[in-house]
Amino acid sequence: MIAATPADSVLDLLGETCGRFFIDGGWVEPVGKERIALVDPVTEAVCAEIAAGSAEDVDRAVAAARRAFPAFAATPLAERCALLARIQVLILERAEPFAQLLTQEMGVAAGFARAAHIPLAAEHVRAAREAAEAYPFEQLRGETAILSEPIGVCGLITPWNWPLYQITAKVAPALAAGCTIVLKPSELSPLSALFFAQLVQDAGAPAGVFNLVNGSGPDVGAAMAAHPDIDMISITGSNRAGALVAQAAASTVKRVTQELGGKSPNVLLPDADLRRVVPLGVTSAFRNVGQSCSAPTRMLVPRSQLAEIEALARHTAERLVVGPPADPATHLGPIANRAQFDRVQTMIQQGLAEGARLVCGGMGRPEGFERGFYVRPTIFSDVRNEMRIAQEEIFGPVLCLIPYDTVEEAVRLANATVYGLGAHVQSNDLHLAQTVARQIRAGQVHINHPAWDPFAPFGGYKRSGNGREYGAHGLSEYLEIKSVLGFSPAAVNGT
């Protein structure tokens, strides 16, 4: 096995920024002296400390963003798009340092960081730029002009599971719209965010346009949500965090968009090509060690084909290599943090207690690992949809095989959760697949494992959230609509 990159050399990429915030175009000392320890998920030892922000730090960042907003909102679209183009180029140029930091802060396999976390983050920037270039910011209907204008100062709260990817999914459309930003990355994986702040500075963002304050949700997130000078909050996180942000934001009547939990179904229709779609379904569910809100962790399968599907799923899971993130052979590194590791273990135990049949995996670390937040890729079969493991987000490599007898029952089971973020449908009959896809109440449905589309709107029904990200729909969330009646294009043109 290849040893992990030494923590000290990785942190050299950040210098003194671990203890500072990025506010008004520069790195500043926090108001207080509190620190947050980061734990390496491979060694379980503290590997770094970051500054812990406070409401006073948020006030400074918001004031900087508020001062910068009028000028940045008036910046020509071409200049904002040029800034995004520079950010995209720098992400790709600095892909290897980003990969090292992502591996350090959350244990993601370095190969997966290079193949997915970083290039997909850059794609969010490209998609936002191209969406803005084609966006109808001004439309004329008779003598009424309909203008789409930047909403103002945006508070962006991002999660620990896809740190850079989720930052660019929010920062890029906000910049494209002409908004200014205060970012609070997760305190559990803040290193890539600090490196991204350096990148934004190097890309030439004007002072105050992008600001970053590290800290906890109760201290920094709550202060942002309640802040009277923040016009919008966008949060990706747990349902609990999303609800708390919405409650805190209510008194100032700001816009709140939420991308929250999921328990996505993967409906295998009776005519599906099982040898293709079962392995793809397992690897999709276990992507990023299962730490994805849209992971298809409920595989709904024809009861008559259950035994064949179990064998294919077991074979796929057992071929996945769990190991040190720096090893090129590793598919799945450790779970990102102790709390999530404990959650996964608890839910596997719960599945056994509820009577689900273990196909592979189970509790504890894989053989050969005595430390690190490593988990065994786990598949349960004969799962009933009312079981906790079928209803609650586990956020680890745990897949539930849920048998059904009719397509109508499969659709009912697919919709029988409080979530509605993503879904998958597999069939050789495209008409049938599309019919089923229309009946599933989820914000994004994938038929036969298509390629990822960075322009496809992403967001949830029900308790999976409000609002959409990606492409033109994601850009719209950062815009206000103004109608101007009695508008004359001739007057604009000076005639």
The active-site residue, picked from 259, 310, 393, 477, is 259
Using DSSP's 3-state secondary structure scheme, residue 172 falls into helix
Helices (H) and strands (E) in the chain — how many of each?
A: 18, 22
Beta-bridge partner residues of 357: 381
Name 27's bridge partners. Answer: 22
Summarize pLDDT for 34-92 with one digit per residue, the tens.
999 999 999 999 999 999 999 999 999 999 999 999 999 999 999 999 999 999 999 99
Q: Which residues pair with 398 in a beta bridge?
A: 378
Q: What is the rounded distance in angstroms from the CA atom of residue 337 to the CA atom of residue 39?
A: 7
User: Tens of pLDDT along 262-275?
Assistant: 999 999 999 999 99
Domain ranges across the chain: 7-260, 265-447
| Residues listed for the chain | 495
Amino acid at 226: A
Cβ contacts of residue 147 below 8 Å, gap of 6+?
Answer: 137, 138, 481, 482, 483, 484
Mean pLDDT of 151-174: 98
Of the candidates 293, 310, 469, 477, the residue annotated as catalytic is 293
Q: Please calculate the CA angle 5-8-10 and round it to the nearest 5 degrees.
A: 55
pLDDT band, very low/low/confident/very high, at 2 (cuts 50, 70, 90): very low
Annotated active-site residue 154? The verdict is no
- Specify whether the CB–CB gap between 127 and 470 falls below 8 A: yes
In which residue are the tokens 């490599």 written?
397
Give the residue carrying structure tokens 């992971």.
295
pLDDT at 13: 87
Is pLDDT at 280 greater than 70 in this prediction?
yes
Q: What is the pLDDT of residue 490?
A: 72
pLDDT tens by residue, 392-443: 999 999 999 999 999 999 999 999 999 999 999 999 999 999 999 999 999 9
Backbone torsions φ then ψ of 231, nearest 5 degrees: -90, -20
- At 99, which helix (H) or strand (E)? helix 95-106
The pLDDT-based confidence of 10 (bands split at 50, 70, 90) is: confident
- DSSP assignment of 139-163 equals EEETTEEEEEEE--EEEEE--SSSH
Residue 47: Cβ within 10 Å count: 20
User: Looking at the domain that runs over 7-260, which CATH code has it been given?
Assistant: 3.40.605.10
Instruction: pLDDT band for 23, please (50, 70, 90 cuts).
Output: very high
Describe the crossing of helices 77-93 and 191-202 by its angle, rounded to 10 degrees. 130
Q: Is 293 considered catalytic here?
A: yes
Res. 491: pLDDT tops 90 = no
Mean pLDDT of 172-188: 98
265-447 homologous superfamily:
Aldehyde Dehydrogenase; Chain A, domain 2 (3.40.309.10)
